[in-house]
Amino acid sequence: MNRVVIVGASAGGLAAAESLRRMGFAGVITLVGDEPRPPYDRPPLSKQLLTGQWAPAKLALRPAADLDALGLELRLGLPATGLDPGRKQVTLADETRVPYDAVIIATGVRARRLPGTDGLAGVHTLRTLPDALALKERLRPGRHLVIAGAGFVGAEVAATARALGVRVTLLEAGPVPLGQAVGEEAGRFLTRLHHDHGVAVHTEAVVTEILSAEGTVTGVRLSDATVLPADDVLVAIGSVPNTEWLAGSGLTVDDGLACDQFCSAAENVYGAGDVARWHNPLFGTAMRIEHRTNAAEQGMAVARNILGEPRPFAPVPYFWSDQYDVKIQAYGHLRDHDEALVMDSDLSRRQFLVAYRRGERVAGVLAVGKSPKILRAWRSLIAAGGPWTAALTSPTAA
């Protein structure tokens, strides 16, 4: 093992590179990134960066000196365009070919766009630093922002924009915002927060047309023919895994790069972070997770599996979201649950806790305003595959 190529220079790719070095790998590590800047953190883009609380420099994932100390061959601002597992080489956009003994695919996801809106002023997505800086320029008191998609990105931007005095309309295609991700009970609680802060929330609202004049957005038309005027539109309708460059590689791509429980997609080919759909033995199912913490954990796991005895990657997924004055935290596999049981719901105290059942076990928990100790007890229960009855009698429920 002399050469490792990591395609994707964000949290997952960086964690893999750091782990390889920490484990004593002294060979060549090439870190390829399509963005021209060193690895930076994305969660603050919808919050501290948009409010202006933080300057872009504060998003750097590592100080320059720490990055230098890793001794990486950095190829930034240069997307990978192809992978040849037979010849064991990655092709970059400048036609150079980089040979590898092992390759880590950590190319992440990009924001899904609405067709026909490219180049239209005032239509935004939010995934990269330039996206956030462009949106930031437009958030001024009294202007009207329509957010198409009430997932976590949409909800966080709604909260930030309200704090800046922007009028906000949040559109959700389903019956309950976030219903798909966290269930209707939690979705309804979080929707109340947005109502309380003056956000107009429309459900069953699908954008059928972006209205514009002279190349600038003027509003949106919904499927029920309602027209909403807008100064800006944020399209926050989910993301698309960056796998097109793997066409012709022979690797299996199916809503992400298909990997086994060791995060391996083929011999000497691994996936990490948002782009990887791997089999998580803890829940007995394949999953692709777009959580900040998973990117780093999976990057580390892949480094271990390249250099050492392969171990299954079986984490308890974790995510958080900051909206207004509350922190939402969740552990486990919330999607596809059989039951979501609300164990505490108190809007005035901004406290909420819902447990998720899958089959006969505790699959997950989502909490608002709960102490870390309570959440760690739930995490242990989920990690141990605890039975649902244990959740019902848990002294940590309240």
Partner 1 sequence: MKVNVAADKCVAAGQCVLLAPDVFDQRDEDGVVVLLDETPGPESHDAVRESAMVCPAAAIHLAES
Shortest spacing between CB 300 and partner 1, in angstroms: 6
Shortest spacing between CB 72 and partner 1, in angstroms: 15
**Which of 22/311 has CB closer to partner 1?**
22
- Per rule CB under 8 A, is residue 41 in the interface with partner 1? yes
- Per rule CB under 8 A, is residue 349 in the interface with partner 1? no
Q: Which stretch binds partner 1 (CB under 8 A): 76-84, 159-167, 259-267, 289-297?
A: 289-297
- Per rule CB under 8 A, is residue 24 in the interface with partner 1? no
- Per rule CB under 8 A, is residue 300 in the interface with partner 1? yes
CA pair distance 387, 367, nearest whole angstrom:
19
Shortest spacing between CB 15 and partner 1, in angstroms: 6
Contact 241, 275 (CB under 8 A): yes
Q: Which stretch binds partner 1 (CB under 8 A): 73-81, 83-91, 181-189, 294-302?
A: 294-302
Contact 81, 245 (CB under 8 A): yes
Nearest of 10, 26, 23 to residue 72 by alpha carbon = 26
CA pair distance 94, 207, nearest whole angstrom:
38
Residue 233 carries which DSSP code?
A: E
CA pair distance 185, 176, nearest whole angstrom:
9
Contact 174, 257 (CB under 8 A): no
- Per rule CB under 8 A, is residue 293 in the interface with partner 1? yes
- Per rule CB under 8 A, is residue 63 in the interface with partner 1? yes
Q: Alpha carbon of 46 to those of 11, 49, 131: distances in Å?
A: 17, 7, 10
Among 178, 296, 302, 362, binds partner 1 (CB under 8 A): 296
- Per rule CB under 8 A, is residue 52 in the interface with partner 1? no
Handedness of CA 259, 265, 267, 271 (dihedral sign): negative
Beta bridge partners of 30: 5, 73
Q: What are the residues binding partner 1 (CB under 8 A)?
A: 11, 15, 18-19, 22, 41, 43, 58, 60-63, 292-293, 296-297, 300, 318, 320, 322, 327, 329, 371-373, 375-376, 379
